[in-house]
Chain A
Amino acid sequence: MGLENKDLEHLFQQYASYVGAIALRLCGRTSEVDDIVQDVFIAAQRGLREIEDPRGVRRWLARVTVRTAQRRMRTLKLKGMIGLVDEPDYNTLAGASASPEQMALISSVYRELDQLPAQQRTAWILRFVEGFRLEEVAELCGCSLATAKRRIASTQTHLRDTLDG
């Protein structure tokens, strides 16, 4: 038994920006965000029965967002390999407060993240862009703490090797 439509609307109004922010940072493409958010809330209507504990709902939505965004990234990667999607423009990711150097760095980081497997990229973004604790990253990624650490470290190494020069 899922949520009623009115509950879904309420949920969407309350959490769309939270889900959208995670989706944007994970995926890095503004064009995909609305679609991911809609998919997350469709899953929410099926998976959530009632909205009581806001902390529980946020965490649940975050987990579903991570899974949905990962699926989307894999799909985009496959489509990219056969030329079905355009190169993403990561220059629009940085806010107005960012300096040109920072905008360029953010863009380079996301381009490098595109080279990595979705799981690896996700763990790193959740840790360093979203600011989740390691335990939370592991939980959101559905993996062990050790695996989360390994994925993050591996991404760090990749970024250091490719960008820190």
Chain B
Amino acid sequence: MNTDFHSELSAALEHVKDSPWDSPRIAKGLSGIKRKKRNRALASSGITLAAAALIFGLSTKMAQHLELQPVATQTSPSPSPVNLADGSQIIPLAETTRVQLRHASEELIVVELEAGSAHFEVSPNHQRRFVVHSAEVKVEVLGTAFQVTRSADHSSVDVERGLVRVTHQGKETLLRAGDAAAFPDESIGVGSTDDSVDTNAADSRHLSRQNLRTPRSSTPNPSIESPRRPSSSPQIAGGPGSDEAPFASTALPSNRTAAELWAAADQAREERRYGDAIPYLVELSTRVPDSQGAQNALFTLGRLYLDTGDASRAASAFAKAQRMGGQLAEHALYREIQALIAGGDLSQAERRTAKYLQRYPEGRYREELQARSP
């Protein structure tokens, strides 16, 4: 901006007027606040009543569903969808498909694919785990749509949207949208319905969707070619329901540079594919655990979780970033407090606030935190 224009603009902006607040306007403002509070209270009670009615309706429906189909085999002679009480849908893709609902509660749904192929549309719900067993393979949903095919000697998983965690031979693998993988079976038969699968067999093979034509018809044996990712299946801590923070490691390729991982994470976040951004950030946070990059990744991960309503994981990520010290530590501690408040853990928020005030007596968030603390 040239000097003349800048000074002209500065001079003009001096004249942006102040808004006068005289007594009548203040009185009007106060009555407006009272009116708004009253209206919001009414709206809030209406919403509460509606929510209560909805929860009652859903729990009744769930109870009826469990009564009708507790652990019965749901064989679909035709590919008609099976609707679960939580809104999730299982769509059999072959006449031979046999799906069994092993467990259904508000916290956990366990489905076993006994034969054939099925597409799963899982309703997003952070409070509930959704697990599919296919022989020795366990697929745990982290909010997604995916397809599982069980054939004579292997099971394959093809992810359409979101993220799933596949456990096979005790190894865990994250599969993102567009990924597909096949997992060979050592033993043929009905897989464990226990939530923890522990067997020994060969490694999995990761494939791109282009190379693995997962069957949408009754042909259940996919051709397997050209691995897209390395076959290592690193461990992952902290799935839904776990107390561990979900930033131990990932199934991402280790040959990507940090810049590439950041770019991929940023792109996923920009496109609001938050589930897809998580593995990149997890990888960044664990690659060089005590680095500045790891701390940045943890901080970003915390913000991502907070933005998506997962306050508990957000607090956990911020806490870890805070423990790493440095300039980001103060911000991380402040964000951790925000996440704890968002998650309703007010007592821990109070403790962390006290820690903040003790550690950063001149901190930039001190005034705000002091104003909020009792």
- Does B30 contact A9, Cβ atoms closer than 8 Å? yes
Interface size class of B (residues with CB under 8 A): 20 to 34
Q: Closest approach, in angstroms, between the C-beta of B277 and any C-beta of chain A?
A: 18
From B11-19, B53-61, B188-196, B223-231, give the one contacting chain A: B11-19
- Does A95 contact B15, Cβ atoms closer than 8 Å? yes
Q: Given contacts A139-B364, A163-B5, is CB(A56)–CB(B13) below 8 Å? A: no
List B225-245 residues whose CB lies under 8 Å from chain A: none
CA distance A52 to B374 in the complex (A): 12
Q: Closest approach, in angstroms, between the C-beta of A165 and any C-beta of chain B?
A: 9
Which residues on B sit within 8 Å (CB–CB) of A134?
A: none
Main secondary structure of the interface of B (DSSP, over half): helix
CA distance A23 to B16 in the complex (A): 12
Q: CB of B325 within 8 A of chain A?
A: no
Which residues on B sit within 8 Å (CB–CB) of A34?
A: 25, 28-29, 32
- Does A57 contact B371, Cβ atoms closer than 8 Å? yes
CA distance A96 to B8 in the complex (A): 17
CA distance A159 to B367 in the complex (A): 35
Q: Given contacts A60-B367, A163-B5, is CB(A97)–CB(B15) below 8 Å? A: yes
Q: Given contacts A53-B370, A105-B12, A156-B1, is CB(A41)–CB(B18) below 8 Å? A: no
Main secondary structure of the interface of A (DSSP, over half): helix
Q: Given contacts A12-B30, A16-B21, is CB(A159)–CB(B371) below 8 Å? A: no
Q: Given contacts A8-B33, A38-B33, A42-B37, is CB(A95)–CB(B371) below 8 Å? A: no
List A28-87 residues whose CB lies under 8 Å from chain B: 30, 33-35, 37-39, 41-42, 45, 47-50, 52-53, 55-57, 59-60, 63
CA distance A1 to B372 in the complex (A): 10
Q: Given contacts A12-B26, A34-B32, A39-B36, is CB(A21)–CB(B19) below 8 Å? A: yes
Q: Which residues of A are in contact with B by a Cβ distance under 8 Å?
A: 1, 8-9, 12-13, 16-17, 20-21, 23-25, 30, 33-35, 37-39, 41-42, 45, 47-50, 52-53, 55-57, 59-60, 63, 93-98, 101-103, 105-106, 109, 128-129, 139, 156, 159-160, 163-164
Beyond A33-B19, A98-B15, 12 additional contacts (C-beta under 8 Å) are A8-B30, A12-B30, A20-B21, A24-B16, A35-B32, A49-B374, A53-B371, A93-B16, A94-B15, A101-B12, A102-B11, A106-B16
